[in-house]
Amino acid sequence: MKPTPDLPDPMNDTILTVEEVAKLLHLEPSTIYTKVESGEIPGAFRLGDDAEGKRPPLRFSKRVLMEWIQKEATRP
């Protein structure tokens, strides 16, 4: 089965938590959530079911995130 373009290939990617992305970008976790909701940070997705009325935790594709960082760093 081929992975969908929106989701990372779990066999060739590392999955990061909000806290790990916050450390990587030197931002607060709350800022990460805000930037994901506004579409500023790519590679975010949720895994699992909506158990007990709670949303599944936000996760990130490290590959997508690193590509985005590199693209942003080389922007004029």
pLDDT-derived band of residue 71, with 50, 70 and 90 as boundaries?
very high
Please give the Cα distance from 32 to 45 (Å, whole number). 13
Please give the Cα distance from 54 to 28 (Å, whole number). 22
Report the run of H or E that residue 66 belongs to, with start and end: helix 62-73
Going across the sheet that includes 58-61, the strands are: 15-17, 58-61, 44-46
Rg of the chain taking only CA atoms, in angstroms: 13
Helices then strands, counting H and E runs in the chain, come out as 3, 3
Task: Please report, as a single letter, which amino acid is at residue 63.
Answer: R
* pLDDT confidence of residue 1: 35
Of 5-9, 38-42, 61-65, minimum mean pLDDT range: 5-9
pLDDT tens-digit map of 23-61: 999 999 999 999 999 999 998 998 777 767 788 889 999
* pLDDT confidence of residue 9: 60
> Is 0.85 topped by the overall pTM?
no
